[in-house]
Amino acid sequence: MRSKILAIGAICAALMSLAACGKTGAAAGSAGVEHVAFMMPDQTATRYDKFDRPQFTAALKALCSKCQVDYYNASNDAQTQQAQFESALSKGAKAVVISAVDGKGAQAMVAEAKSQSVPVVAYDRYIAGANAYISYDNEKVGELQGQGLLDAMSARGTLQGNVFMINGSPTDPNAADFKSGAMKVLTGKVHIVFSHDTTNWDPTDAQNALEQALQRYGTKNIGGVLAAADGVAEASVAALKSAGVNPMPPLTGQDAELTAVQRIVAGEQTLTIFKEAKPEAQGAAQMTNALLTGGKPETSTTFENVPAVLLKPVLVNSGNIAQTVVQAGYYTREEICTAQFAPACKAAGL
Ligand code: BGC
């Protein structure tokens, strides 16, 4: 036992400073390892745990072998995220990559990180003052949703009908961009009777809101539903079904969640927006590594004065599932076309 301890001591002395060896969980972290906090906002969207986290971890590891990614998910709670941020800093995080639950509130975190010379990359959601920002073009996401909804309404002959908007969280800066992008396309062309900002992207809040709106405006003259992402799209389908609507009206989403792709195949959702995680995660990893090593983050534009990369979102509907999410390796045909969806898949040529 004693010789084992001595051996560990010797390795410690050889590999790292003695001070760091002696410390447990103190601010320095373990020497030789650079902690990078990867802080995602929620688990209602599957993307963060399923795609963003592994893609970012792999991309950063490839650039920085001594980097260790510490993953945090705030479960849609700004206070939880704040606590996670404090804990990341006290663990000795050398950089923080964050998708903020509350974009404005997160400015205080950026200031605190900066005061400790810890750079911050705003991931997917903008935070003023961040060292760099990477996202998809969120206004464009809204435009694609709006145009896709308009096209589907025109094809279904529901252009005169009532349109219901189920938007994202008011604390998520992207939600405002999705909405303004959609409004750019829809204003003056359709009759929007209801527009709801969903508290914290909570599907239950979205479902309740749409159920009440359907009671108020009736189900006879529905033109379409603009749902800002797949989580609230699923909630919207539940509300429509509970109000007895069948078939589903034109209905949008975002994220290319597996269940959304299946709803598209089954004709229950018109479209989703595919924002592949890989380029976003790789870009963020490059930015992080550059900031850690005194290099320059690779950016192609600025967003409100922050050096930025804005990637191009892609619309997915029943006509291009194979060429988009399947080709990118998000899901296999088998994952999409389970027994329940097999006939619909066949009809869609999948
Ligand atoms: C992201 C979307 C996501 C939503 C809910 C937005 O900021 O851009 O991809 O669906 O948040 O997490």
Q: In a mutational test of the pocket of ligand 1, which residue from 44, 46, 47 has the highest number of ligand atoms less than 8 Å from its CB?
A: 47
Check the CA dihedral 300-271-281-135 and report its sign. Answer: positive
Looking at residue 32, what is its pLDDT? 87
Q: Is the CB of 139 under 6 A from ligand 1?
A: no
Distance (Å) from CA 229 to ligand 1 centroid: 7
Q: Is the CB of 125 under 6 A from ligand 1?
A: yes
Q: Check whether the bond before 247 is cis (ω within 30° of 0).
A: yes
The atom of ligand 1 lying closest to the CA of 124 is 8
| CA nearest ligand 1 atom 6, residue | 174
**Helical segments of 157-302, H only:** 173-186, 203-217, 230-242, 258-265, 277-293
Distance (Å) from CA 279 to ligand 1 centroid: 16
The CATH code belonging to domain 34-130+277-312 is 3.40.50.2300
Q: Is the CB of 257 under 6 A from ligand 1?
A: no
Closest by CA to 178, choosing from 263, 97, 252, is: 252
Spell out the per-residue pLDDT of the chain, length 350, in tens.
Answer: 444 444 444 443 444 433 333 333 344 455 689 999 999 999 999 999 999 999 999 999 999 999 999 999 999 999 999 999 999 999 999 999 999 999 999 999 999 999 999 999 999 999 999 999 999 999 999 999 999 999 999 999 999 999 999 999 999 999 999 999 999 999 999 999 999 999 999 999 999 999 999 999 999 999 999 999 999 999 999 999 999 999 999 999 999 999 999 999 999 999 999 999 999 999 999 999 999 999 999 999 999 999 999 999 999 999 999 999 999 999 999 999 999 999 999 988 89
138-274 fold: Rossmann fold (3.40.50)
Which residues in the chain are classed under CATH 3.40.50.2300?
34-130+277-312, 138-274
Closest by CA to 277, choosing from 63, 43, 91, 58, is: 58
Q: Which two tokens stand for residue 185?
A: 């396309």
Looking at residue 7, what is its pLDDT? 46
Distance (Å) from CA 9 to ligand 1 centroid: 47
Looking at residue 80, what is its pLDDT? 98
Looking at residue 31, what is its pLDDT? 67
Question: Given phi > 0 = left and psi -120 to 50 = alpha, else beta, which region is 139?
Answer: alpha
Q: Is the pTM of this model over 0.85?
A: yes
